[in-house]
Each structure stands twice: as C-alpha cells, then as structure tokens.
Amino acid sequence: MRLVQRPRGHRAREQLTTAVSLIAVDAMGGDHAPAEVVGGAIDSVAVGIDVVLVGDETRIRPLLDAASVDIPVVHATEVVEMADDPSRAIREKKDASISRAAGLVASGEAAGLVSAGSTGASMAAAAFIVGRLPGVSRPAIASFFPGNKIILDVGANLSCGPKHLAQFAVMGAALAEGHFGVTPPRVGLMNIGEEEGKGRELERDAFRLISALSGIEFVGNLEGRDLARDSADVLVTDGFTGNVVLKTAEGVSELVVRVVMRALAEDPGAHTELVGRASAQFDPEGVGGAHLLGTKGVVVIAHGSSSRTAVANAIALAHEGAEFGLAEHIAAGLSDAALTVS
C-alpha cells in the first residue's frame, strides 16, 4: 500500500487552513499514544484522508520519519491526563493537545476532531472550545450497535428531560442518514413496554415530543430485546440507561462467543471462521469510536485502549461525518423542530 506524502513546514500549514474535511487528531490521547495514534493517522492518509496531528512534535515527528510519511503537526506542550478533572484541565491547560485540536475545529481550520484520551476532556473541549449547536445544552454520545443501529445517549448525560431525548432523536436520525444512508430513519424510544403510556414521566413526555417530529419515522416505544431485531435505525434513551444497555450487550456477546467456542472445541470439524466473523461485529475497534452529537463540528471519541486500527477507523468515521455535513444536518433538523433547550 503506497503512502500518500504530505508537505512540511509552511506549505503544510497552508494546506491545513484550506482543507474542507481535514481531521484534527489528538496524538497524545489514549493508552498507547502517540505511537498507535500516529500509526492510525498514517493509515488514514494512505487512503486519502487529510489529517493533522496535534501534540508533542518531538515525539510525533520521529514516528513519521521512521515511516517516511509527512503529516502536518501542530505542536502542543501539554496533555490532559486521565486523572485530571476534565473541565478544570481544559480551562487551565491551554496548550493541551485536545484543546489545540478542538481549537482547530472551532476556527474552521479542521472539520472534525478525534481523540482516544479522556472522554470527559474530549466532551469538555467539544462543549467549551468547539461549541454547542444553537439550542443544544447537552451533546450526546451516539454508539453504533451491530445490525446497523445507533443508540444514544450512552453516557454523556446521566439524567435528561423530555426535550433532550427529542433532540437526541433528531441528532441520531441525522447520523443514521449520513452513515447508513436511510431516509427517513426509523427512530424508537427505549422503554419498559411498547404501549404509549409506558415508562416514567420522562418517556411519556418524550414520546409525545418525538411523535410530533417531521423527517423521521417514529416507531414508538422499543424494549431491550429490540436491539436484536430490525425494529429501528436509532434508539433513544438517557445516558445512564444507554450506557448500561451498551455494556450489557458487550458482556453478553463475549459470553455467547465463549460458549460457542467451547462447543466448537469439542467438534474439530466445526466452522470457527464463521464464529470469528460473527464476533467481530461486536468488536469496538471495527467502528473505532462514537460520535459526540450536538457540537458545531464533528467530534469522535475513541476508546482509551485504541490500537492503530481503531484509531484509523475513528478517523474514517469523523471524515465520513465531515463529508456528509453532519453538524449542519443536525442544526437544520433542530431548527425545523424548534427544540431549544436552555
């Protein structure tokens, strides 16, 4: 695979300020930074994605030189550590790699941001530096689920109001259009029963708001078992419930694979390759990250233990969102729905 070469110095910076879908990558974020992050960036450039790395150039440049690849680097002298208080770190560490990367998106020099560092710091940088879309008080983390489904929120907001869930429906629908190409997307509200009157006051009020939205196909309340069915493209819930659902699904998938692999071990003629392909659908590295929706630019949060492959997939996800104009689609949908939440 031939790697695409990028200019250095002044010319590199000039390219940085003119690229429409340039993705700013926090090179210092993650358990295996900067080596795995830089590796993922190199792989992304090889397939034609424009990337700028943000972080300590004295550590990043040798990795690029060793691969004979030149990618623009924006030097940053600080790093937000996992033990740091996210909001305080964003306020005080002005030259942190995540802050500088978010600044590139805020200034329009980059269209998207990818970080495998502290989730809290990524969310804080997105909210305070990139900025929230008009009327959005709580951006949501949207995760992809096997079977072409999106679930949000999966952890950004532990408690929500009905209007927040309605905003999540609009934001998730825009992501489904851009990622899956479905129009109109089917949106369901996670609940403890299918009937309209089920759930807490939160779900009952959200049901009324979401059912009035245009541009989506609201399929009503859905239960946890609908995750395994072709019932909806987007499932909406609060961050506490969504995170429990996502982590439970991951745990169950691991359990099923272990049980099946034990059975296969007793039958040497069984097709282990088929099981491997099926279990790969639950591998988070296959997608690479989760979108943080509701900000003025594309923000993808990758797992802290992301490998080179996962980072490259996260960058590809951000690039796809930037090419689609994800933030603009969400803003238009929220404006049409008049769903302002202070």
Using CA atoms, how far residue 233 sits from 59, 165, 313, 321, in Å, is 42, 16, 21, 17
CA 86 to chain centre: 18
Q: Which of 121, 43, 119 is nearest to 76 (CA)?
A: 121
59 by Cβ neighbours in 10 Å (0-12 / 13-18 / 19+) ranks as middle
**Which DSSP category does 54 fall into?**
E
Q: Which of 82, 122, 110 is nearest to 318 (CA)?
A: 110
- Domains along the chain? 9-133+294-324 (3.40.718.10), 140-283 (3.40.718.10)
CA 243 to chain centre: 14
Give the model's pLDDT for residue 13: 35
Order of strands, edge to edge, in the sheet holding 23-26? 73-75, 51-55, 23-26, 112-115, 298-302, 289-293, 140-145, 149-152, 234-236, 186-190, 217-222
When the pLDDT of each residue in the chain is averaged and rounded to a whole number, the result is 86
**139-167 mean pLDDT:** 92
Q: What is the pLDDT of residues 90-142, one digit of tens each?
A: 999 999 999 999 999 999 999 999 999 999 999 999 999 999 999 898 999 99
Q: Which of 337, 111, 44 is nearest to 206 (CA)?
A: 337
